[in-house]
Chains A and B, each alone.
Chain A
Amino acid sequence: MTDTTAEFEKLLAKSSKGTYDLRLYVTGSTRKSKLAIKNIKQLCETHLKGRYNLTVVDLYQTPEAARDEQVIVAPTLVKKLPPPLRRLIGDLSNSSRVLLALDIKQEDE
């Protein structure tokens, strides 16, 4: 019995750490868009290497996405998984806030 509980805990820990589903909504190639893409890519590579799934959506290309995803601010990073859902607005240059909002433990420090 203890075996399975430990297994579950382990799986849980792995899953929460493992699957970050992130979507970044940007508006074309504006300065803010570029900065946001650069920032999130850097951050993911540093902290979530191998366990994240980042999609960049250009709202100009798919305007319906703005309504479907309740996006009004650009750039917006939506953390779909793990729960809870969070929306990070802005160009993501305040990395400590981003990490906090994404609930990423900074193991280095």
Chain B
Amino acid sequence: MAKPKKIIKPAVKFLQKCPTGITGLDEITGGGLPLGRPTLVCGSAGCGKTLLAMEFLVHGAVEYREPGVFIAFEETAEDLAKNVASLGFDLKALIARKKLAVDYVFIERSEIEETGEYDLEGLFIRLGNAIDTIGAKRVVLDTVEALFSGLPNPAILRAELRRLFRWLKDKCVTAIITGERGEGTLTRYGIEEYVSDCVIVLDHRIIDQTATRRLRVAKYRGSVHGTNEYPFLIDAQGISVLPVTSLGLNHKVSQERVPSGILRLDTMLGGKGYFRGSSILISGTAGSGKTSVAAHFADAACRRGERCLSFLFEEAPNQVLRNMRSIGVNLEPWVKKGLLRFHAARPSLYGLEMHLAVTIRAINQFKPSVVIVDPISSFSTTDNSFEAKAMLIRLVDFLKVKGITVLLTNLTSAGTALEHTEAEISSLIDTWLLLREIELNGERNRGMYVLKSRGMAHSNQIREFRLTGHGVELTDVYIGACGVLTGSARLAQEAREKAEELAAMHDAEQQQAALERKRHALEAQITALRAEFAANEVEAKRLILQSEQRQESMVKERQEMEHSRRADPATAAGRNKK
């Protein structure tokens, strides 16, 4: 076999990329912006164009040793420096170190009078001079369309801009040109026509009164790129784009098991607990103890010395700490040790995408091995269930790729099937525990069972789920002739059974006693009879003896009498014989 690798050589050079250094953007674009070519970044006002462009330059200057030129048409250099200072960018220092040049182009329409044919050679010279002075590799023109409002004769401007972009290419600088979004077109003056290599569209959309920033690579000539809309954040660390949708299903799976923190629950799950890196859903109606199960899991993770990040969307961290203390789960030491961190936010604080973005960033920062989301149902409103599902899929995928075990809780509203999750994410879930309310005899009890648990032998039994002063306890429910009983019904049934048993035992004892008594009576009778017999016997013997004696004495007397009569012995003897 010949070596095919040596034969096939790429005849053309692949497009080289220029890394932006912006979290996530390089991932989507497969390495960055097209090297040595202009890229158009467009979007409506306030969507972060200038910031993205500035970050591109600052990262280039600081991390990639590529100095940059910022041509500002809208803001002065001072304003720009002030605006980005909040992100930790020190423009003045960079300018002083010749890593960055900022040139503010000021056009005052009222001062200008057109008197004939003109060109933009002045701008070219300015830009060229700035590039050459610091040896710039990156250029930003923000917003070049300001020329249209400042200068007359758009026809000349268009021709000149086309020349400018070609000139930038010739200069081999990677450029970002920003443009304001127009009606029906990407930019107000249609300059996307001239920048055809790469177009990035930024968007700041408001849905349900919550705003979400999104980024999309609309075009990238000569390169594959993510085509979705990706949410992005602007915060103290600058822009971060979150390409969560680019995840697949080819993550590694672990055979390792992690205890749930509840002994009997582990028993139900094949004796060992959940799989590491799996997704666990606990669903149940309000007050069924979902958070408590989650708290046990968090506690168990921290006990093992692992980090746990808990996202709370309905309760404040302190409230959770207090409530869990009441069932004997003290999470406070873990918070102090830094093993447990809470991240509380109202679902309505920002849009779903933003929540996802914030969640993922928090996970990337804290690097937990266990993540708890309590509850996921608060994301779903009637009209965004699709988006909520999409978001959760992405979150669960992300966590699975990272090998993080995630425990989600889901509030099932009363009246719907318990197996129904608002976001319809059951297919995502590896282990699904159901907390069920059992109403019987005027009281409410909790039951728990394992609805499904992928990849392990699990119990099919309903266990009674009790919240005690020392944590969650699972007890066997009463299963007997009367069905499944829990709570006081179970206790009553158990008591009743005990009483019956006792009564039966009592009966037997009584029978035994009666028998004994009878025996005693009979024995007494026998003794009495025997005694009577003995008495009779004695009497009889005495009478026999008396009669014998009497006879004896009669014989004796007769003999004496004969003797005294001196009777014939023969006669006497004959009489005696008779």
Contact = CB atoms under 8 A, between A and B. Distances in A.
Interface in A52-67: 59-60, 63-64, 66-67
B151 A73 contact: yes
Contacts of B118: 32, 73-76, 89-91
A72 B112 contact: no
A27 interface: yes
Contacts of A92: 115-116
Contacts of A91: 115-118
Contacts of B121: 27, 30, 59, 73-74
B27 interface: no
Interface string B110-137: 0111111111111101101110000000
Contacts of A76: 118, 122
B117 A59 contact: no
Contacts of A64: 129
Given A27-B121, A70-B105, A75-B118, A87 B126 contact: no
B122 A27 contact: yes
Contact of A93 (B106, B115, B123, B126): B115
Contacts of A67: 103, 126, 129-130
Contacts of A14: none
Contacts of A29: none
A27 B125 contact: yes
B125 A60 contact: yes
A63 B128 contact: yes
Contacts of B108: 87
A64 to B, nearest CB: 7
Contacts of A1: none
Contacts of B117: 32, 90-91, 93
Contact-size category for B: 20 to 34
A75 B147 CA distance: 16
Contact of B114 (A60, A63, A70, A89): A89
Contacts of A100: 113
Given A63-B129, A64-B129, A66-B129, A72 B115 contact: no
Residue from B112, B130, B151 having most chain A Cβ neighbours under 10 A: B112
A101 interface: yes
Nearest to B103: A67
A2 interface: no
Nearest to B101: A67
A66 B115 contact: no
B492 interface: no
A59 B112 CA distance: 19
B524 interface: no
B128 A101 contact: no
Contacts of B115: 77, 88-94, 97-98, 101
A59 B125 CA distance: 7
Nearest to A95: B115
Tell which of A64, A72, A84, A93 has the most Cβ of chain B within 10 Å. A72
Contacts of A74: 118-122, 125
A75 B121 CA distance: 8
B122 A71 contact: yes
Nearest to B71: A72
Contacts of B106: 70
B567 interface: no
Q: Considering the complex of A and B, which 9 residue pairs feature the smallest CB-CB distances, nearest first?
A: A90-B116, A63-B129, A91-B116, A72-B123, A101-B113, A74-B121, A93-B116, A27-B121, A90-B118
Given A25-B122, A60-B125, 14 more contacts: A32-B118, A63-B128, A64-B129, A67-B129, A73-B120, A74-B122, A89-B115, A90-B114, A90-B118, A91-B115, A91-B117, A94-B114, A94-B115, A101-B115
Interface of B: 103, 105-108, 111-123, 125-126, 128-130, 147, 151
15 contacts: A27-B122, A27-B125, A30-B121, A36-B116, A66-B122, A66-B129, A67-B126, A70-B105, A71-B126, A73-B122, A73-B151, A87-B112, A90-B116, A92-B116, A101-B115
